[in-house]
């Protein structure tokens, strides 16, 4: 029996601009990056809303698959993936939409068609994903890497085949997702230009040595991930492809985010790491208390000490629920005055600190 599929499709707005008058196409292009309808002047908004509703109704009643494929690049790829019979199986789909009114609206029209054929569909509006701001685009790609790392592996472990459908969407997003597909997808598909053939690209038998890269630049990567300041001079030895520098501060590039997401759990679970701030010092017996801890517990300890480092550097403004830094219950204990959570699941544990 074939595996069920999770199909991740990049979505653009060609569904709205195909087979329309030149002036309407210009109007849609002019306002393609507006976040919400209210950002568009009233007269233009009304015309766009009328077009959206007309397209929604057209797709709702259209039963000719060829017509659907002509109007929607996203559906063109999906229908060809199912060899012209989209109702043959019931798969799960994620539609990646831009962080815009028209992008999300387009994806929801595609979702309606797929749901009509029995598929389960999620429209994921990717935060900051827009085509008119390079900085926002980079943030969006980093978020996509994190989403792939956190989500897709779970589907594969559950027996799903992960497929990236890159027929639709903007070329800049397609290119990035094709690279991600070599790591996270079982295969990537798209319709070859000006043909009716579906091009299938299997996952390459290569593996990025993310752990080695992370260990080489561990302190810098940990501070970036924790949200702590990292100055440009501190990343002079880090490959340029892994970090971006904004206003003198280093942040992950999309590829740096990929390395982090791929490797940090393994590195954090291997043993206690050194503090990333001089404001945090381990007591002489602290390491002994961690003997025989399982890797997932060690990971929690390292995650928590990084949060504590940020708390100590930033002050009271930072105290996420997972840290819960507060005065020690029951008063001082052997000179310690503060506590935070080590982990809250299973046999919950606390860390205590002296000031």
pLDDT along the chain (355 residues), means of 10: 92 91 94 94 95 96 93 95 94 97 97 97 95 87 92 95 95 90 92 80 79 95 95 93 90 91 94 93 83 89 93 89 79 64 64 55
Can you state the percent helix, strand and coil of the chain, rounding each to 5?
45, 15, 35
pLDDT at 321: 87
pLDDT, position 282? 86
pTM value is 0.79
The rounded mean pLDDT for the chain is 90
Which token pair is 207?
A: 């593996």
Copy the structure tokens of residue 136: 């926002």
Q: What pLDDT was estimated at residue 140?
A: 92
3-state secondary structure of 164: strand
For 158-198, the pLDDT digits (tens) are 999 999 999 999 988 998 999 899 889 999 999 976 667 88
Q: What is the pLDDT of residue 331?
A: 57
Confidence (pLDDT) at 332: 54
- 282-297 residue pLDDT tens: 887 888 888 888 999 9
Q: Are strands 92-97 and 120-125 parallel, antiparallel or unpaired?
A: parallel
Helical ranges in the chain per DSSP H: 14-17, 22-30, 42-61, 65-71, 73-81, 101-116, 134-157, 171-184, 210-216, 218-226, 254-268, 295-314
Q: Exposed (0-12), middle (13-18) or buried (19+): which is 149, by Cβ within 10 Å? A: buried
pLDDT in the model for residue 346: 58
Pick from 171, 125, 119: nearest CA to 147: 125
Pick the CATH number of 5-202 from 3.40.930.10, 3.40.50.10770, 3.30.565.10, 3.75.10.10: 3.40.50.10770
Question: What's the pLDDT tens digit per position in 139-151?
Answer: 899 999 999 999 9
Q: Which of 205, 318, 223, 343 is nearest to 274 (CA)?
A: 223
> CATH 3.40.50.10770 spans which residues of the chain?
5-202
Within 10 angstroms of residue 278's Cβ, the number of other Cβ atoms is: 9
What stretches of 170-300 adopt beta strand conformation (E)?
187-191, 198-202, 243-246, 249-252
């Amino acid at each position: 029996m074939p595996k069920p599929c999770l199909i991740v499709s990049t979505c653009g707005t060609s569904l709205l601009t195909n087979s329309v008058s030149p002036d309407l196409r210009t109007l849609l292009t002019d306002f393609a990056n507006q976040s919400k309808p209210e950002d568009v002047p009233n007269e233009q908004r009304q015309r766009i809303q009328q077009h959206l509703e007309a397209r929604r109704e057209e797709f709702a009643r259209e039963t000719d698959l060829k017509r659907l494929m002509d109007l929607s690049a996203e559906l063109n790829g999906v229908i060809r993936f199912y060899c012209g019979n989209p109702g043959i199986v019931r798969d799960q789909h994620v539609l990646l939409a831009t962080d815009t009114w028209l992008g999300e609206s387009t994806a929801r029209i595609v979702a309606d068609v797929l749901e009509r054929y029995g598929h389960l569909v999620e429209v994921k509006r990717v935060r900051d994903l827009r085509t008119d701001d390079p900085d926002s685009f980079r943030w969006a790609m980093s978020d996509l890497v994190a989403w792939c790392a956190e989500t897709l592996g779970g589907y594969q472990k559950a027996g799903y085949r992960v497929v990236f459908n890159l027929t639709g969407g903007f070329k800049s997003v397609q290119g990035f997702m094709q690279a991600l597909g070599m790591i996270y997808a079982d295969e990537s598909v798209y319709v070859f230009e000006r043909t009716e053939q579906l091009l299938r690209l299997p996952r390459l038998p290569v593996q990025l040595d993310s752990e080695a890269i992370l260990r080489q630049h561990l302190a810098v990567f940990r501070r970036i991930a924790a949200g702590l300041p990292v100055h440009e001079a501190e990343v002079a030895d880090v490959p340029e492809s892994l970090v971006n520098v904004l206003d003198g501060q280093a942040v992950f590039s999309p590829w740096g985010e990929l390395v982090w997401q791929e490797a940090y759990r393994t590195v954090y679970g291997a043993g206690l790491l050194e503090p990333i701030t001089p404001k945090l010092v381990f007591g002489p017996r602290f390491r002994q208390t961690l003997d025989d801890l399982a890797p997932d517990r060690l990971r929690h300890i390292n995650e928590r000490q990084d949060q504590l480092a940020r708390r100590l550097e930033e002050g009271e403004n930072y105290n996420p629920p997972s840290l819960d830094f507060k005065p020690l219950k029951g008063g001082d204990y052997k000179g310690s005055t503060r506590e935070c959570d080590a982990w809250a699941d299973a046999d919950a544990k606390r860390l205590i600190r002296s000031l």
